[in-house]
Structure 1
Amino acid sequence: MNHYELAKEILEHTGGSENITQLNNCATRLRMNFKDESKIDLNKIKQINGVLGAAKKLGQYQIIIGTDVSNVCDEIRKMGQIDESAVPMKRAGKLDTLMDIFASIFTPVIPAITAAGMIKAILVICVLLGMNKESQVYSILNFIADAGFYFLPVMLAFSSARKMGCNPYLAVMMGGILLHPNFAKMVSAGDPVFFLGLPVKLVNYGSSVIPIILAVWLMTYVERFADKISPKPVKFLMKPVLTILIVAPVVLIVLGPLGSYVGTVIAAVTDFLNSRVSWLVPMLMGAFMPLLVLTGMHWSFLPILMTSYTTYGYEAVMGPGSLVSNICQGAAALCVAFKTKDRQFKQQASSAGITALMGITEPAMYGVTIKYKKVLVSVMLGGAAGGFYAGLMGVVRYTSGTPGLLSLPIFIGENPMNVIHALVSCTIGFCITFVLTWFYGFKELEKEGDREQDKYSEAKEQVQKSKKIIISSPVNGRKVNLSKVNDETFAKEIAGKGMAVEPSDGRITAPFDGEVVTVFRTKHVIGLRSSEGVELMIHIGIDTVELEGKHFTAYVTDGDVVKTGDLLMEFDKQAIEAAGYETVVPVIVTNTGNYLDIIASEEGTVESGQPLFTVL
């Protein structure tokens, strides 16, 4: 892979380096924010050789590169000056905004946490091999590792300030205030402390997460206020002084203790789950991790993970389940590689499978598993089984890191059986996934290789004998292919095949005679079943579930019988778009597997009642 050429092509389709406001990367993805999003061409980015996928998630553009992502990120930085000063966030869904903040705050500090945790793991191994805990070598390495956790508030202060748009060095100063030795002495002494007559709650902020984020959030507003009231001749001096003098006392008296309490609650909930139903969370994570990664929802767990690391020194929420899930992705891809007769696909699947076993799952996920729903189901079932065992045995992860065979040391701790049980859970997940894919999931892949022509001829004959079912558009607007919908679940046809409509108004009508199967509580989804058995989902907008039914009016309920053209739903298109949501309407055949194919019509203008696609 030519990193320079790849970086150059990405910049060509993103408006150049001057259009970038934020740039970083995780293990496999570039994560970017832009000044002018109209310059972004996701379709062309996806076609670049070396790009495995691209999407906008959590208010952030994510370009999947693979393990070479850091090199590509470095090349992009070399090609021009990137102004990474934070810009005001555009209106978006509350959940999207929250997860975007989490991702931007926690991603930059993960390398430091990983380094600290790995050094701890090395120390555990050294002690098992005979190192004396009283030795100076052990003591020095131990405090080196502890620094990564203890000074976490300082690191989070910097990344939070970069995201929220305040002075990062004042934010770092606030982190230093929380950790100052004199305040630590007050906490140790335990004597009552007051500031201007107000009580200061004595809290140990070392390794804390929530308090500093709340502090920086407050600082963004105070700094603007200080900037507004400070006279220009003395603004350089007055603005930072006012900011610290206001923020520091409020944090020490109110926000710091509040954040500490929230962290305590998170730790208590985690402890409750681990002690009462230890199998539940790893099982669910093992099953649904592919979907969480596809939608970006896995970022929402970062505060919980960081709180668990700093409170207990380990976490059992995501690590065990994600380890098994990654291994299952590898098992599925390798199984497909063994069975397929397509040489090119065999090479792709085998490479993706090995990479997934090492912890990098995007090539397997986007190249193999989500293309074939039964293979994805096999991965989820294997992940659930392995995750169940891991939870039952109390497997924990001692530090952050992409779970895989290469990163097994992150599961090494004082309990030597922890890593053994982690390996057993991986073996369970691998075997179950491989067997299910071999006997169940791979049936949908028999259209490949030498059987291609036979299947085509058979399909052609079935089409001639079958009855064609025309599905009409439920809304006026413009027809677009699902691949252009800004949601991987629809664009990758994970939910089923169909077509989407960019609506010109807010009226949804019945596309056929049939029955209303369900109207979601949030009213953004209607499920229908035609008199001929076609099960249809009409999904109004992207992420509009977050509106909780606001701007939607339903005219039908579950079980209603409808005729073609009956009014089902009205939605306020302008209000939904003003709230930051897309209003595109994917129309999906959810029982696609029962039919030979779904044939979309040509893109263009369509009126309600006119043909949208054909079910064969």
Structure 2
Amino acid sequence: MSYDKLAKDILQFVGGDQNVSSLVHCATRLRFKLKDNKKAQKTEIQNLQGILSVVESGGQFQVVVGSHVANVYDEIVKIGNFGVNSNSTDEPKGTVMSIIFETISRSFSPLIGALAGAGMLKAVLTVLTTFGWLSQESGTYHILSAAGNAVFYFLPIMLGITLATKLGANPFVGGTIGAALLEPNLTGLLAEGKTSSFFGIPVVLMDYSSSVFPIFIAVSIYAALEKFLKKVIHKDVQMFLVPMLSLAIIVPLTVMAFGPFGVYVGNAIGAVINFLSDKSGILTGAVIGATWPFLTILGLHWGLVPIFLANIANGGDPILAMVAGGVFAQMGVALGIFLKTKDRKVKTLAGSTAVPGLLAGVTEPIIYGLILRFKRTVPYVAIAGAIGGAVNGLLGVKAINFAFTALLTAPAFSPIGIYIIGSLVALVCGALLTILFGFEDKKQQEVANKPENKSEDKPSLMKTASIVSPLTGDVKLLNQVNDQVFSSGALGKGIAIEPNTGKVFSPVDGVISTLFPTGHAIGITSDEGIEILIHIGIDTVQLDGKYYDPQIKQGDQVKQGDLLVNFDIERIKEAGYQVTTPIIITNTINYLDIIPTNAERVALDDSILTIVK
């Protein structure tokens, strides 16, 4: 796969770098903040090879890439010259909750790799010391323990940097505010008692190591203060005076008010969760296990990381253990599809997505590659996740270290045996539901169950449908089209026409299911359920609608022969673009075969494709 080309295509279809306010990535997603989401061509991005899905959630335009997201991100940053430091006052506003979740997510995204890696290292140390393979008194243990603990202990510093970056403030002042909470002069006061004073004002002392909420409050206030100070302080002295005043104001306020309040908030959330777990661990676990996959789809799951970390800092987090039910349920569905399917491509996909899920806890490829493709499995995931989450909730499993929920990270949970049992229950339930009740819808089952080699012997038993030409011109096979997305058949089987008149007519009776704002591509769903994409020209989306005049709008009912689009062939060619027009059956998977015409030229209403049902 060419990461460079994929990056260029993604950047083009999100509206170009001028439409990007900022970009970060997490384990599997590119998370764009766009100035105008309407400029992003969601369908075009989804159709790119290497893209699993596109999700709009929490004010973000999220492109789900998979495990190679970091490679694609690096190429996009090179092209667009932006990244985590990009900010813009032009960013669109959302609801209060979407802004909060988006801010939390964006602040944690750069740290996820370090948090997961350190958590895994701590889990390995737990195994080594439990089996007596490494002494807790040895220098080796202390050095590796420092490596595993550092990111958690100094989390206020790192979050101070990432949050300040997100809010458009000086990231190093934000990090310094976090560092002040861990500085020995302040932490040393704890040894003398739980209270102190600042100019006579009482101060309640807290341990801020591994804390999350205090630094979120402090840096949010600092970002607003910095903007105010820059307005009232002369620019010649801003370089030192703004940071000096910010630190002199925010650090004492944090120690006196924001910090204790943040700690109390974190403790209160933890207390509520523990209360719910104690009162009905089985119900709490079932709800969390069942809903986790859907939070992942919406990209909201990272917003709960602060709660995980706050609970772990206070002795253990039950939520992450309950989450394991939802995660392993997805792996179970992938395993069930792998065991049941006879389709080699589906089997390969299921196997390749299940392995990273089991080993590393990354399940987005399962969600977007399998579960959302085979929607019949959605209730299986919810049921299996609820059962696994309920087991872990009922038996009081907790995460003692932060780690993705996977087989290899089992030592991060306690009791480890119960965690494994609860996780395997979810996995087995997901697999059994998939095997027993199937994963394909009725039409997919009919296609899968039809014998592949007998259609020629009994042609009278086959049903066929004919798709007529929507324009006149010379015929091209799809593999001759100068665009890999079309020529590879990634979008489906079909044919292409080199038109000699600038009019496109409907090839079927049906509904306009998709009409690109640029007018260069139309999606039609026929009355028989055949999904047809007519893409006028190659890369002509870059014309931004010039030389295209759509005569219909999305949702219109059309009859065969109705005029859909007028386009100017000569002007398009003069602009440097080919007018080759692919006609694709995008739901090819639902049919036995798509047979193109043998004719070299076609006129309007000539048959160009035969659909074998």
Q: Would the TM-score normalized by the shorter structure come out above 0.5?
A: yes
Relative distance call for 1:309 and 1:482 in structure 2 (3 A) is farther
Maintained 8 Å contact 1:340/1:448: no
Q: 1:269 deviation in Å?
A: 1.8
Alignment-derived partner of residue 65 in structure 2: 65
- Name the CA distance, whole Å, in 1 between partners of 2:159 and 2:426: 35
- Name the CA distance, whole Å, in 1 between partners of 2:390 and 2:214: 34
- Name the CA distance, whole Å, in 1 between partners of 2:339 and 2:118: 40
The AA in structure 1 aligned to 2:169 is C
SS in 1 for 2:23: strand
- Name the CA distance, whole Å, in 1 between partners of 2:112 and 2:380: 31
Alignment-derived partner of residue 505 in structure 2: none
1:603 matched to 2:605: no
Maintained 8 Å contact 1:114/1:399: no
Relative distance call for 1:99 and 1:447 in structure 2 (3 A) is farther
Alignment-derived partner of residue 336 in structure 1: 337
Alignment-derived partner of residue 434 in structure 1: 431
The AA in structure 2 aligned to 1:603 is G
- Give the number of the structure whose alpha-carbon radius of gyration is greater: 2
SS in 2 for 1:142: helix
SS in 2 for 1:194: strand
- Name the CA distance, whole Å, in 2 between partners of 1:260 and 1:308: 11
Alignment-derived partner of residue 381 in structure 1: 383
**Among residues 376, 390, 393, which one is paired with 1:391 in the alignment?**
393
Maintained 8 Å contact 1:58/1:296: yes
Relative distance call for 1:442 and 1:124 in structure 2 (3 A) is closer
Relative distance call for 1:17 and 1:398 in structure 2 (3 A) is farther
**Among residues 242, 259, 262, which one is paired with 1:259 in the alignment?**
262
Task: State the superposition RMSD in angstroms.
Answer: 3.1
SS in 1 for 2:209: coil
- Name the CA distance, whole Å, in 1 between partners of 2:329 and 2:71: 28
Q: 1:192 deviation in Å?
A: 4.5
1:135 matched to 2:138: yes
Alignment-derived partner of residue 516 in structure 1: none
Alignment-derived partner of residue 349 in structure 2: 348
- Name the CA distance, whole Å, in 2 between partners of 1:230 and 1:188: 39
Relative distance call for 1:144 and 1:363 in structure 2 (3 A) is closer
- Name the CA distance, whole Å, in 2 between partners of 1:53 and 1:234: 48
Which stretch of structure 1 is more off in the superposition, 435-444 or 205-214?
435-444
Q: 1:167 deviation in Å?
A: 0.8
1:449 matched to 2:448: yes
Alignment-derived partner of residue 115 in structure 1: 117
Maintained 8 Å contact 1:289/1:325: yes
Q: 1:283 deviation in Å?
A: 2.1
Q: TM-score, normalised by structure 2?
A: 0.70
Q: Once the two structures are aligned, what percentage of the paired residues are identical?
A: 32
1:412 matched to 2:411: yes
1:179 matched to 2:182: yes
Alignment-derived partner of residue 49 in structure 1: 49
- Name the CA distance, whole Å, in 2 between partners of 1:85 and 1:239: 21
- Name the CA distance, whole Å, in 1 between partners of 2:225 and 2:400: 37
The AA in structure 1 aligned to 2:185 is N
**Among residues 344, 363, 366, which one is paired with 2:368 in the alignment?**
366
Q: TM-score, normalised by structure 1?
A: 0.69
Deviations 1:564-587 (A, max 9, x none): xxxxxxxxxxxxxxxxxxxxxxxx
Q: After the TM superposition, which residues 216-365 of structure 1 pair with which residues of structure 2 at under 5 Å, given as runs?
A: 216-312=219-315, 314-317=316-319, 319-358=320-359, 359-365=361-367
Aligned pair count reads: 467
Maintained 8 Å contact 1:326/1:357: no
- Name the CA distance, whole Å, in 2 between partners of 1:115 and 1:371: 31
The AA in structure 2 aligned to 1:403 is T
**Among residues 199, 202, 205, which one is paired with 2:208 in the alignment?**
205
Relative distance call for 1:53 and 1:272 in structure 2 (3 A) is same
Deviations 1:486-521 (A, max 9, x none): xxxxxxxxxxx9xxxxxxxxxxxxxxxxxxxxxxxx
SS in 1 for 2:216: helix
Q: 1:349 deviation in Å?
A: 3.4
The AA in structure 1 aligned to 2:47 is Q
Relative distance call for 1:442 and 1:38 in structure 2 (3 A) is closer
Maintained 8 Å contact 1:285/1:322: yes
Q: 1:50 deviation in Å?
A: 0.6
Relative distance call for 1:443 and 1:7 in structure 2 (3 A) is closer
Alignment-derived partner of residue 151 in structure 1: 154
Relative distance call for 1:443 and 1:605 in structure 2 (3 A) is closer
Q: 1:389 deviation in Å?
A: 1.7
Relative distance call for 1:91 and 1:338 in structure 2 (3 A) is same
Q: 1:484 deviation in Å?
A: 9.4
Relative distance call for 1:315 and 1:231 in structure 2 (3 A) is same
- Name the CA distance, whole Å, in 2 between partners of 1:442 and 1:413: 33
Maintained 8 Å contact 2:119/2:412: no
